[in-house]
Chains A and B, each alone.
Chain A
């Protein structure tokens, strides 16, 4: 073994024979399972004064899922990044605890919907199953490259379909088939990343080089500008027809990020931002749903003052305020006052109230860490497709976290998206497990040591002659 790659280096940006870090992952996973189990006990003690009956089953279940995932990673992606699986497990486990905690609420608007934690547990199991399937059956992420244009078609269908279904709470982001509803946007973000990665890998030279210099900027040619305008138009259309600010922002942000990485041209970012702002302002000026969101963002308490009734943005602000620095303690807050969306879009407010600023910072750091591991994977990847796909998925994840958490905290206007792994919702948890699986697979390929060069018989011979 070479000593130039010391064991002290924990970077993934390195070629050659890195340690696989599978044991690190196992140790981290132990924490990722134990922390939610303790949190579960904590909620039970706080709400009912006893250790919840399901604690053992819950702990074993989560442990078992994590254990299987770990074994499969060991077998099928032995050099994969060691932090992604533990972080995803911890987030998912905490999400289950938070949803279960909200299930315990005695307030009327939530009781109506019944318990959501068992369903979420089932969806999580399905998500992990998909995670395993990706690890096992996706031999090499470059295979995805073949499906560039199919991905595009699928993504378009997924994004357009919800227009034909009725709006739920003001946004058309659902497809409902026989009582089952899925949020196609969650899956579309992965498929679109695949399409962009494949498309840009082919076109990036044309986009980057065939441009004229104008006032210090590289202006792309009209025909290269085409795709970006199409994407822009599409995201504006989503915004208009589905009133889904979140998906269009995510979709567009993803595209700009990947374009920039592929072309290395800052001008693309300027174009992207200009178009995004133009689109958003244009839509916000006539779409009442979006206008309402902007108003709520500028002044979360205006509805309270006008009607005397607290709406969700105000309730969320109060929830964060109530948490203060150390939080009320799991099960001891009143974030369920938020109402029907407490377990989904607003679940981060429960983190804010019950785990406090400390908990919020910890969660943001966990998300940030997962994102940065993803970007590191992109840096380490040796093929442009892998690089683009990894950075696309990571950026999509980061944008989604920012948009949801920022919306709930009134940093930006609220959009109806789910907090990855935390929020209630099957589509979201399944899609995000798939996303992590793909990132893991890319990182496995990136960190895999190059095959040892075959021993050259000539060298030996020469030596023999010399001696």
Chain B
């Protein structure tokens, strides 16, 4: 019987070998895949096993924190300071619902898992310490944000403030907002809070980042781009040159007359006057004369037609490809012309910075747990959409708007302010309440421009004239500019 016994021995050996091969397969070959399976609770347990690094303002103050929680295998939970105000900047990090925006983009740094923190991690492992997360230092300015958020009050809208010289984002407001702390854990209470914030349960959609992710018809604020196109294309050389435009303006190829708002004379107005009183007729005519293709080109030079990563991805602003009457209307920021608040802030900043457009960014540097800098943002030029000369001409026009036009409400003593109001009609037959826009920049006595702002308010007031922009949105912009200037002085 020994021959079959030897075969049985081999058979039993093969059974064991099969087990070992299988073990090698799942524990060596497949291990990485299994370990990183997002449904694997270990991923979350490990992630929340140590406090997360913080998101920090330009003044060094942290707007996030971590707190130890009991009764769950997730040891640490994210906390937010003044969460509602900063939510558009931080996004959220929730044990149950994952992370978004900065929390998601820099998850590796914040948890300490990033490859660039490998050295730190190894040292911690050897010395037996818990893994530590790094910090994300933003460009956000506490006082600018605070001023804008307070001025916004309970109105629905967004505001973006940029330093035109560097592209650094100083303020990023979206209202109504939410406090990411309320659903940072994974309890039933967190689930309820999360549910309440969803769009289907809250029509005001508090979790939408209106500053970066929502596009609106830019309304009259777009006239800055149209004016730039007029000068750059050589249509008009001087902003005080008469434009030979009728009032009202018959939209090309139609029998529809485009009127102006308010009782200002726009007939044959110069660019300066047209900006001052926000003449629809003048800019619609310019858009028509420049032509759809070239209008698209000029808009794209300012950053329309692409996503921007600040590093949070923005929605795409579009200047539409369209027929003549639509193109003329798009030139005054209507029709299917759409822009995000940050896009309009970029346009304003480019004009304020003498035509040089800086890449907008909100993360200044990433810091390892041992405080060494892992990555630092160097201001980058995105392009030169308009020449310095054109920019200066536009600045003069925009300064006239604030000095003695529709934007006088934004005047700040001892400071040169340039701005542009806007009221964007929307809805079918323009029946819904218009959006109130205001874009502006402030220039100090020494010639530097520390801030450019774009504000939009999804107006609740029924105001159909251009004053709406200045009445609702301009005070917010003014508050933010003042805060930035005070911080500088």
Residues of A within 8 A of B (CB): 106-107, 257, 260-262, 264, 301, 304, 308, 310, 314, 317-318, 320-325, 334, 337, 352, 356-357, 360-361, 364-365, 367-368, 371-372, 375-376, 378-379, 384, 387-388, 391, 394-395, 398-399, 401-402, 405-406, 409-411
| Chain B positions 34-70 with a Cβ under 8 Å from a chain A Cβ | 34-35, 37, 39-42, 45
Residues of A within 8 A of B373 (CB): none
Residues of B within 8 A of A398 (CB): 12, 15-16
The answer to whether the Cβ of B119 comes within 8 Å of any Cβ in the partner chain is: no
Residues of A within 8 A of B7 (CB): 260
Residues of A within 8 A of B26 (CB): 317, 320-321, 409-410
Given contacts A357-B23, A360-B27, A399-B15, contact A324 B45 (CB under 8 A): no
The answer to whether the Cβ of B234 comes within 8 Å of any Cβ in the partner chain is: no
Q: Are A384 and B12 in contact (CB under 8 A)?
A: no
Q: Are B19 and A406 in contact (CB under 8 A)?
A: yes
Residues of A within 8 A of B446 (CB): none
Residues of A within 8 A of B3 (CB): 264
The answer to whether the Cβ of B126 comes within 8 Å of any Cβ in the partner chain is: no
A71–chain B nearest beta-carbon distance, Å? 31
Q: Are B8 and A375 in contact (CB under 8 A)?
A: yes
Residues of B within 8 A of A (CB): 1-9, 11-13, 15-16, 18-20, 22-24, 26-28, 30-31, 33-35, 37, 39-42, 45, 73
Bound state CA distance, A331 and B73, in angstroms? 14
18 A-B pairs besides A352-B23, A360-B20, A365-B16 with CB distance below 8 A are A261-B5, A304-B39, A310-B39, A314-B39, A318-B34, A318-B37, A322-B34, A322-B35, A325-B27, A325-B31, A352-B27, A357-B23, A367-B16, A371-B12, A378-B8, A379-B6, A401-B19, A406-B22
Q: Are A406 and B5 in contact (CB under 8 A)?
A: no
Residues of B within 8 A of A387 (CB): 1, 5
Q: Are A324 and B23 in contact (CB under 8 A)?
A: no
B186–chain A nearest beta-carbon distance, Å? 14
Bound state CA distance, A376 and B41, in angstroms? 45
Bound state CA distance, A378 and B196, in angstroms? 71
Q: Are B19 and A364 in contact (CB under 8 A)?
A: yes
Given contacts A320-B27, A323-B27, A356-B27, contact A364 B20 (CB under 8 A): yes
Bound state CA distance, A301 and B39, in angstroms? 10
Given contacts A260-B4, A264-B1, A334-B42, contact A361 B12 (CB under 8 A): no
Residue of A with least CB distance to B27: A357
Residues of A within 8 A of B24 (CB): 357
Q: Are B31 and A321 in contact (CB under 8 A)?
A: yes
Q: Are A264 and B4 in contact (CB under 8 A)?
A: yes
Given contacts A318-B40, A321-B27, contact A261 B1 (CB under 8 A): yes
Given contacts A357-B24, A365-B16, contact A322 B5 (CB under 8 A): no
A164–chain B nearest beta-carbon distance, Å? 33
Given contacts A322-B35, A411-B22, contact A334 B12 (CB under 8 A): no
Given contacts A320-B27, A321-B31, A325-B28, contact A261 B8 (CB under 8 A): yes
Bound state CA distance, A264 and B2, in angstroms? 9
Bound state CA distance, A301 and B38, in angstroms? 12
Given contacts A318-B34, A334-B42, A387-B1, contact A107 B27 (CB under 8 A): no
Residues of A within 8 A of B19 (CB): 364, 401-402, 405-406, 409, 411
Residues of A within 8 A of B33 (CB): 321
Residue of B with least CB distance to A394: B12
B90–chain A nearest beta-carbon distance, Å? 27
B82–chain A nearest beta-carbon distance, Å? 34
Q: Are B8 and A257 in contact (CB under 8 A)?
A: yes
Given contacts A322-B35, A334-B42, A406-B22, contact A368 B27 (CB under 8 A): no
Residues of A within 8 A of B1 (CB): 261-262, 264, 384, 387-388
B43–chain A nearest beta-carbon distance, Å? 9
Residues of A within 8 A of B37 (CB): 301, 318, 321
Bound state CA distance, A3 and B330, in angstroms? 107
Residues of A within 8 A of B39 (CB): 301, 304, 308, 310, 314
Pick the residue among B2, B13, B28, B31 that contacts A372 (CB under 8 A).
B13
Bound state CA distance, A365 and B19, in angstroms? 10
Bound state CA distance, A409 and B29, in angstroms? 14
Residue of B with least CB distance to A105: B73
Bound state CA distance, A314 and B40, in angstroms? 9
4 shortest interchain CB distances as A-B pairs: A321-B34, A368-B16, A357-B27, A398-B12
A398–chain B nearest beta-carbon distance, Å? 4
Pick the residue among B18, B27, B30 that contacts A411 (CB under 8 A).
B18
Q: Are B6 and A324 in contact (CB under 8 A)?
A: no
Residues of A within 8 A of B22 (CB): 406, 409, 411
Bound state CA distance, A387 and B7, in angstroms? 14
Bound state CA distance, A105 and B26, in angstroms? 25
Bound state CA distance, A360 and B7, in angstroms? 25
Pick the residue among A262, A310, A384, A401 that contacts B41 (CB under 8 A).
A310
Q: Are A409 and B23 in contact (CB under 8 A)?
A: yes
Given contacts A317-B26, A409-B26, contact A391 B15 (CB under 8 A): no
Bound state CA distance, A317 and B34, in angstroms? 7
Bound state CA distance, A240 and B258, in angstroms? 83
Residue of B with least CB distance to A357: B27
Bound state CA distance, A20 and B28, in angstroms? 41
Residues of A within 8 A of B45 (CB): 334
Q: Are B12 and A368 in contact (CB under 8 A)?
A: yes
Residues of B within 8 A of A401 (CB): 15-16, 19
Q: Are B8 and A402 in contact (CB under 8 A)?
A: no
Bound state CA distance, A371 and B11, in angstroms? 11
Q: Are A324 and B15 in contact (CB under 8 A)?
A: no
Residues of A within 8 A of B15 (CB): 398-399, 401-402
Residue of A with least CB distance to B45: A334
Residues of A within 8 A of B12 (CB): 368, 371-372, 375, 394-395, 398
Q: Are A324 and B41 in contact (CB under 8 A)?
A: no
B24–chain A nearest beta-carbon distance, Å? 6
Bound state CA distance, A410 and B23, in angstroms? 10
Q: Are A260 and B8 in contact (CB under 8 A)?
A: yes
Given contacts A321-B35, A322-B34, A402-B15, contact A375 B23 (CB under 8 A): no
Bound state CA distance, A411 and B22, in angstroms? 7
Bound state CA distance, A398 and B2, in angstroms? 19
Bound state CA distance, A314 and B41, in angstroms? 11
Residues of B within 8 A of A399 (CB): 15
Residues of A within 8 A of B8 (CB): 257, 260-261, 375, 378, 391, 394-395
B27–chain A nearest beta-carbon distance, Å? 4
Q: Are B18 and A406 in contact (CB under 8 A)?
A: yes
Residue of A with least CB distance to B33: A321
Residue of A with least CB distance to B18: A411
Q: Which of A301, A318, A352, A402 counts the most chain B CB atoms within 10 A?
A: A318
Pick the residue among B6, B34, B73 that contacts A320 (CB under 8 A).
B34
Q: Which of B16, B18, B45 counts the most chain A CB atoms within 10 A?
A: B16
Q: Are B5 and A391 in contact (CB under 8 A)?
A: yes
A120–chain B nearest beta-carbon distance, Å? 24
Bound state CA distance, A378 and B476, in angstroms? 91
Q: Which of B7, B16, B27, B35 counts the most chain A CB atoms within 10 A?
A: B27
Residue of B with least CB distance to A374: B12
A-B contacts, 22 of them at CB < 8 A, read A260-B4, A260-B7, A264-B3, A310-B40, A318-B40, A318-B41, A322-B35, A324-B35, A334-B41, A334-B45, A337-B41, A337-B42, A361-B23, A364-B19, A379-B6, A391-B8, A401-B16, A402-B15, A405-B19, A406-B18, A406-B22, A409-B26
Residues of A within 8 A of B28 (CB): 324-325, 357
Bound state CA distance, A452 and B476, in angstroms? 110
Bound state CA distance, A236 and B20, in angstroms? 29
B230–chain A nearest beta-carbon distance, Å? 57
